[in-house]
Every structure is written in C-alpha cells, then in structure tokens.
Amino acid sequence: MIKLTVNGKKKSFAGAPFKRLIDALREDFALTGTKEGCGEGECGACTVLVDGEPVNSCLIPVCQTEGKKVETIESLGTPEKLSKLQAGFLACGGAQCGICTPGMLMTAHAHLKGGGKCDDKSVRTALAGNLCRCTGYQDIVKSVVAAAKGKKK
Amino acid sequence: MLEEPIYKDGVMINNQLTNYVIPTALDTPPFQVILVEKPYSRGPFGAKGVGELPMDIPGAAVAAAVKHATGRLIPTLPHTPERIAKALA
Ligand code: FES
Ligand code: FES
C-alpha cells in the first residue's frame, strides 16, 4: 500500500506500484486534469508537482511518491474560482487546444512560487521543458507575466 | 528550420519528440499577427483559409532570408543547418 498526499488529501494506493503516476492520478484518483502528451518525458504536458518540484508524471511510477505531496492542476483553482495564473491564461489567450495547458500552469506555478522572476526571458526559460504545438508560446508567456505582475500588486 | 519528417516504407520513422524536435519557448521568436482583410475571389463570399498560414509563410520567409544572406535559393524546406551547409559547400 502506497501512502501519499494528493492535493492536500491523504490517499492510499493499492494498485500496481509501478503504475505510472499519471495513470494512477487519472484512473485511480479520477483527476483527469493532468494530460498525457507524448508519454515519453519530452513534452511536459503531464507535469505535476511532487513536493513542490515539477515532474513528468508519465515518467515516474506511483511508488516513487510514497510519503510525498503531489499537486495536480485540480489544486490550483476551480471553474468558479480560478487561480491568478489560470485567470491570466484566460485573459491573455494562453490556451488553444489545451493539452499543454495543465502542464504549463503547474510549471509556471512552481516557478512563481519558488520566487522565480517574471520577465519574459525567465518565464521562457522556466517553461522551456513544456512544449506547445498551438500557441507559439507568446501568449502563454504573456499570461504568466500578467498573472505574476497582478500578484505583486 | 527544425522539422523534417523522415519516411520509410510509407511510415514516419522519426515520430517521437526526441527525434522530431519542435521549438520550445526559448527557440520561438516574438511574432506579430497582421490580418490582411482582402477577399479571395475564388472563395465563397471571399473567404480564404487561415489555419495553415503559420506553416506556409515562415518557411518561404526563411528561404528568402537565407537567399538574401548567401545569394543561394535553397529549394527544399526545412532549412536545417545541415541542408544550408550542404547547399553552400
Ligand atoms: S506526456 Fe509526460 S512528458 Fe509528455
Ligand atoms: S495549446 Fe495546444 S499544445 Fe499548447
């Protein structure tokens, strides 16, 4: 039995310990906000935070999160009450097809929470491991910068 | 400049993001979209497609820029560094 915290709630997982974290989240914990892009650690669509660090949930087995805190996109906000970042994406058109978006948000969230800078270059560097096929990144970066600036006020 | 699908027996063989590299946030230059509202005579009500334009125009623009810089028009896209080096050799 694997014990972990998912979005602040204590959970236990009795399935195969080598199940990919993304599958455990989506299938066993019904948290389908996390998306699978490539399944091979290249795209970052599946990014979740493990103890605050962004990780590719398609690459790690759920047993590696024993005793750890996992945060998924569902922890950021709700449709009624969006987080600052999500509101930024909405306002600046930071999502097109939306497959990369949960990963972008989690990576950006970790970047800003960790005290990362919110200028164009720093945000681009932070998001360099998250691929987006639709937007050309410009509006994603704009969204993050706008959200971060709003936060500082 | 980056993306070159390679086919073998009708199947794309570089079909992973490890070997078919696409631009990241750091590779993508700033861009500005300018809509030119000029009706197309053969489209219904003057309509024309816009979905593929980001694919069509930058390739030609890169080819033109390479020609401007080197004097050589390289007829095949993408303009990978290897292709440019070969054309100039
Ligand atoms: S799905 Fe995990 S990195 Fe692409
Ligand atoms: S919005 Fe489609 S991949 Fe980023």
| Predicted confidence pLDDT, tens digits, chain A (153 residues) | 999 999 999 999 999 999 999 999 999 999 999 999 999 999 999 999 999 999 999 999 999 999 999 999 999 999 999 999 999 999 999 999 999 999 999 999 999 999 999 999 999 999 999 999 999 899 999 999 999 988 654
Kindly list the residues from chain A whose CB atom is less than 8 angstroms away from the CB atom of residue B28: 136-138
Q: Is B3 a catalytic residue?
A: no
Identify which of A129, A132, A138 has the shortest CB distance to residue B30: A138
- State whether B16 and A125 contact (CB < 8 Å): no
CB A98 within 8 A of CB A132: no
What is the DSSP annotation of A116-147?
Answer: ---SHHHHHHHTTTS--SSS-SHHHHHHHHHH
Total domain count, chain B: 1
Write out chain A residues lying below 8 Å of B31, CB-based: 136, 138
Domain assignment present for residue B1? The answer is: no
Q: Tell me what pLDDT residue A151 has.
A: 61
Query: Predicted confidence band at B33 (pLDDT cuts at 50, 70, 90)?
Result: confident
Q: Is residue B18 part of a domain?
A: yes
pLDDT of residue A153: 45
| Token pair for B11 | 């199947």
- For chain A, which residues make up each domain, given as ranges? 2-75, 84-152
Report chain B's mean pLDDT, rounded to a whole number.
91
* Contact yes or no for A132/B23 (Cβ under 8 A): no
**Would you report the helix, strand and coil content of chain A in percent, each value rounded to 5?**
40, 15, 45
The residue behind tokens 């009795």 is: A14
CA A105 to chain centroid: 5
A100 CB under 6 A from ligand 2? yes
- Rounded distance from Cα B45 to ligand 1 centre (Å): 43
A140 touches chain B (CB under 8 A): yes
The CATH H-level superfamily of A84-152 is: [2Fe-2S]-binding domain (1.10.150.120)
* Domain that residue B25 falls in: 7-88
Q: Decide if B64 is inside a domain.
A: yes
**Cα(A27)–Cα(B9) distance, rounded to whole angstroms?**
37
ipTM of the complex: 0.84
Residue B81 has pLDDT above 80, yes or no: yes
> What's the confidence (pLDDT) of residue B48?
85
How many contacts does A have with B, using Cβ atoms within 8 A?
37
How remote is the CA of residue A3 from the centroid of ligand 1, in Å? 24
How far from each other are the two terminal CA atoms of chain B, in whole angstroms?
18
The reply to whether B67 falls in a domain is yes
Q: Which CATH class is domain A2-75?
A: alpha beta
